Structure formats: C-alpha cells, structure tokens
Chain A
Amino acid sequence: MTSTRSKVLWGIVSVLVAVYALFPVASILATSFKAPSDLTNQKFLPSPGQATTGNYEQILVGDAQGLFLTALRNSIGICLIATFIAVVLATLCAYAIARLDFPGKKLVLTTALAVSIFPVISIVTPLFNLWRSIGLYDTWPGLIIPYLSLTLPISIWTLAAFFRQIPWELEQAAQVDGATTWQAFRKAIVPLAAPGVFTTAIIAFFIAWNDFVYGISLTSTEAARPVPAALAFFTGASQFEEPTGAISAAAIIVTIPVVVLVLAFQRQIVSGLTQGAVKG
C-alpha cells in the first residue's frame, strides 16, 4: 500500500497544506520588498528589478525607527515579564492541583476556564478608567497586569495537564535510594517537569504577543505601545504615501520569532495545546 502512488498523494496533500499555511505570510513578505512606486503593480511579487530593502531600512534605521524599535522593545519586555509571572504563578498552582488534595481545586480550574473565555473588551473599559486615575495608563505595568488575564488561565490548564502525567513516585524512589528531598526533587522531578513549563511559557508568550485590544486601549504613546498596536498607527513617510511597505516589513520582523519557535518546538507546542484542552 505504501507504494509510490500513496507517496505522491501525500506529497500533494502536504504541499496543499503548506500553501494554505504559508501563503498569507509569503504574500506580506513579497509586499515588504516592494518600493513605494511599485506597490500598485497589481502583482504578487515586486516588479522585476525593483525589489528593495528600503522598507526594512525605514523601520530599522530610517525615520520610522523610533516608532517601530520602541514598540518592539515594549512588546518583548512586556510579553516576557507577563509570561514569566504567569508561568511562575501557574507552576505553583498546577503543582498543587496535580499533587495535593485540597478543597477548592475544582474552583481554581473552573475560574481559570471562566477567565479564559472572558471577553477582553469587557475588562478594557473599567481598566481604562481606573488606570487613568491611578497613573498606570500608558505604562508597562498597565499592560503586564491585564496580560495576566490572558496568560495565566491557559498556563494553569496546560501545566496541570503536564504535571498530572509526571510519575511522582520517582521522587520517593530516589529518596529510598538515599537522595535528600531537594536532590530527589531536582534530579527526578525537575527534568520531567521542565519541558512542560517551557512549552507553557511558549504558548503563553504567543498569546501575549498577539494581544491587540489591551495594546491600543491602554496606551497612548511610544512609552508602552506594543507592536500590534503600533502597526495600526503607522503612518507613511509623507502624508500622501501609504505605509503599506513599512507595515509589511515590520509584520515580517515580528513574525520571525514565531516561525523560529514553531520550527524548533512544534512537537512540544502541539502536545501542550492539546493536553491543556483535551483529556490527555
């Protein structure tokens, strides 16, 4: 059965899926190399001989540099901190859920579920008002705190699912073999738990990185505005020039880390996403 015919068939199917997944990325990649005068060529690719890296120069070293690079710094900083806090809190919480018996375990999980389906926009209005009156509007903490509502629930679910599968008896076995509690934890449990924690961090980071609603609602200047919001406020080099090229180039730059993470950790990400969601 696994003849050449089925191999060819699978080849075609794989190419179709790859085209589906990558076409819009390729499309914006091609646009990012178009010169301003070439933007309206009505073609997928830049006109022959006209491809340019001018858009990248504009956002990395040119006049849009201030706009893009600060936004990039904001995004990276805010998302890393929000991910770190969420993963630390979620690790403690998921450990308790997977390993200890205490009343309210179900309440914690249900709350995480409820928070994850909460409409973000419903939180934004009150926060907008509150942040303005207590001075958190347009600051890093002003975004890090609401980002926890995005990153924490999924981290708890994913980690609880991971931790449930760890054979905790190993720890006892190590102790029987003469290891101290700390040694047993470090040598037997940490290596098993670390991949789960790491995967959770990637997923949480993706979610924070993707945020747009908080980003445009709770910031007003470059002080804290993250990349997705900055993209929406990009303007052209002049009043009469569309910022299409610059936005495309910026879009490609913020997509690179995603592609790298996906390439490096696709297996872990898939198991993390599905374990958190369906009984593993």
Chain B
Amino acid sequence: MTSAIPARPVSPDLEQDTTPGVGPGGPSDKKAAAQYSDRVRAERRLGWMLAGPAFIVMLAVTLYPILQAIYESLFQFRLTAPGEREFIGLGNYLVILTDNVWWKDLGVTLLITVITVAIELVLGFALALVMHKALKAVRGPLRTAILVPYGIITVVSAFAWFYAFDINSGYVNSWFAWLPGIDSDLNWFAQGPTALFVIMASEIWKTTPFISLLLLAGLAQVPDELTEAAKVDGATWWEQMRKVIIPNMKAAIMVAVLFRALDAFRIFDNVFIMTNGAYGTEVLSLLAYRQSISRLEIGLGSAVSVLLFLCVLIICFIAIKLFKVDLAGAQGGK
C-alpha cells in the first residue's frame, strides 16, 4: 500500500500529503512533515476504528472460550455435581493420555484425515483440470454442478449416503451384489472398516469441490507460455504435468491440502449421523462432545478440547515449518 488515500473528506492538499518528498518541496517542509504525521496518525486511528470491532469479536468468540477451556480442564468438575469441583492440576490430561480411547480416536481421526485428503487431492485435481480445459459452453454448468455438494449441509450429505447404504432402506447392497463380499445381509454400519468407508465417501463427496476450486485457481496462475514451450519441446502430457504445471502451482496445492487436512481433522457431522462413534469409528471431536455435552464432565471434556486444539496447532506448525506453506502469502495477505 504505497498510496494511502484517506477515507475522510479529501482536503485540497491531498497531493502533498500522500506523496511526501515528491510533492512540490516548498519552504514549509517542516509544516508538511507535521501535517503528514498527523494524517498518518489519523489514518491509523481510523484503520483500527474500522478493523477493531471485527478483531475484538473474533477474539471474544475464540480466544476467550479456549482460555476458559484451559482453566476448566484443570478441575475435576461435573455439571451434575457442581458442589464437588476440585482442582486437580493436569490430572484430567493424565487420565486422557493414559486411556486407550484417546489414542484409538486419534488414530481413527488421523486415518480419516490422511485418506480423505489424499483422495480429494487426486479427485479435486482431476476436476480442476476438467474445468480448466473445458469448452466455454460447458464450463458454467460444470461449475454449477460442482458447487452443489459444496453448498449442501453436511448432515444432509450424511443422511443421503447413510440411507443409500443402510441395510433396510438402501439399494447399494442390491446394486452391487455381484461384487465379492457384498450381499443383502451386509450391514455397512455394524463394523468399523465398512462404516468408515461410507463416512469417508460422504466426506470426500462433500468437500472435493472446495479443494478443486482452490486448485483451479492455482492452475490459472501457471503461465500458458510455459506449458506451450514444453509442448513445443515434445514433452508428453505427463511430463508437462510433472515438470511444469505441478511445480508451478505447488503453493496452491499446499494451501489446499493444509486447509482440507485441518477441516478433516475436525470431522464430526458424518460420524455423528451414521454411527455416533460406534464400532470403533469414534473421532476426537465426538469424544470431546461425548465427555462435555452428553456426560456433562466439563473438566474432562475441556481437557479433550484443549488437546484437540493442540493437535491442530501441531499440524499447522508441521505444515508451515517443514513444508514451508506460506498461508498468509498464498491467502493474498500482506
């Protein structure tokens, strides 16, 4: 931002103010400088007056609750027995981290995250390529179709997939009965692996459009001349992909993957609707929900929430330090 244009009523001496030192250097250099710093100060004040409310609201709805959660996590506290609140330090964390349930749920959450993001990346990239190369006539309809899953409520998607696979109301068993292992008796939601399969299918269906739109924007930034030059040099389609296109949109890919990974790590809706965590499909968000909302164990639930938050921080840290994902840069920041 080099030209700082004041939003307030523009004074006649705008030119001198916004371009100090370049304007007509009159005898009143000192006065201009003083005026300039006044203007700068006024602009700063206005900037914070405008940005401040949003900033404060954001802090109020996230920073405050997480601090509260950290505080609550140090107590043994159950809402049903409010009198027996007792400070136990890191006791809740000890209970959680020595319990198999936490590690199993962490494993399931990570499994879902890795598999869905990997599939979404491939599928999303294919969709992005299709939209990128599509003839003008079909580009609009394609985008419309792809936005439908994006806009649909996750719970609706969960029910759609659930009913399709359900042993009573579903048709998947009768459609795919010719596949080995599938027959009319297969209850998809009575064992972990098959239930996770449907959960992930719903998750992938719903969120691939988002990743493909991010990748499409990345594709659009690869200079056409580069691809053309590679083509002239006789590079095959695969070589163009691997040597020209993918390296040039690495930043967009990284951002898309990180965003989706963080989102997948918070998975809740699909699991809640389809199995409610039964048969080894429980994820961390559901564990936190079960502790605090269902069992009213505020202390334990808060500790799970804090641990989940720490996991997200660790994922971010790994992505930014190890893979050098420049979120702010790629997000049009500065």
Contacts and interface: CB of A to CB of B under 8 A. Distances in A.
Interface string A161-184: 100100010011001000001000
Contacts of B5: 99, 168, 171-172
A212 B305 contact: no
B4 A100 contact: yes
- The DSSP consensus for interface residues of chain B is helix
B134 interface: yes
Contacts of A117: 259, 262, 312, 316
A126 to B, nearest CB: 4
B76 to A, nearest CB: 14
A20 B130 CA distance: 13
A148 B61 contact: yes
Given A18-B145, A149-B58, A258 B66 contact: no
Nearest to B265: A119
A124 interface: yes
B142 A14 contact: yes
Interface string B148-164: 11111111110111011
Given A7-B135, A18-B145, A118 B309 contact: yes
A113 B43 contact: no
B51 A42 contact: no
A109 interface: yes
Contacts of A168: 5
A153 B55 CA distance: 9
Among A17, A95, A119, A123: residue with most chain B CB under 10 A? A119
Nearest to A269: B147
Among A107, A232, A244, A279: residue with most chain B CB under 10 A? A279
A237 B56 CA distance: 47
Contacts of A172: 5, 10, 14
Contact of B66 (A89, A123, A247): A123
Given A27-B163, A101-B43, A231-B159, A152 B148 contact: no
Contacts of A194: none
Interface in A208-248: 209-210, 212-213, 216-217, 227-228, 231-232, 242, 244, 247-248
B332 to A, nearest CB: 4
Contact of A263 (B144, B169, B174): B144
Contact of A102 (B44, B164, B184, B333): B44
Contacts of B173: 42
A61 interface: no
Given A112-B58, A255-B152, A255-B153, A100 B7 contact: yes
Interface residues of A, number: 113
Given A93-B51, A181-B10, A123 B59 contact: no
B47 A212 contact: no
A129 B252 CA distance: 40
16 contacts: A10-B134, A10-B138, A21-B146, A96-B50, A99-B7, A104-B47, A105-B47, A106-B328, A110-B328, A122-B306, A124-B293, A172-B14, A213-B285, A258-B153, A277-B217, A278-B255
Nearest to B218: A278
Contacts of B140: 266-267
A190 interface: no
A119 B58 contact: no
A61 B222 CA distance: 55
A228 B7 contact: no
Given A125-B302, A156-B54, A103 B156 contact: no
B298 A103 contact: no
Interface residues of B, number: 110
A106 B43 contact: no
Contacts of B259: 117, 277
B180 interface: no
A212 B1 contact: no
Contact of A119 (B14, B44, B48, B308): B308
A210 B207 CA distance: 12
Contacts of B138: 10-11, 13-14
B285 A130 contact: no
Contacts of B252: 278
A126 B147 contact: no
B306 A262 contact: no
A121 B154 contact: no
B210 interface: yes
Interface string B183-206: 010000000000000000010010
Interface in A26-42: 27-28, 31, 34, 39-40, 42
Contact of B269 (A228, A242, A275): A228
A212 B144 contact: no
Nearest 6 CB-CB pairs, A to B? A102-B47, A274-B217, A96-B50, A93-B54, A258-B151, A126-B68
Contacts of A39: 168-169
A212 B156 contact: no
B57 A148 contact: yes
Interface in A119-150: 119-130, 132, 145-146, 148-149
A108 interface: yes
Contacts of B143: 266-267, 270
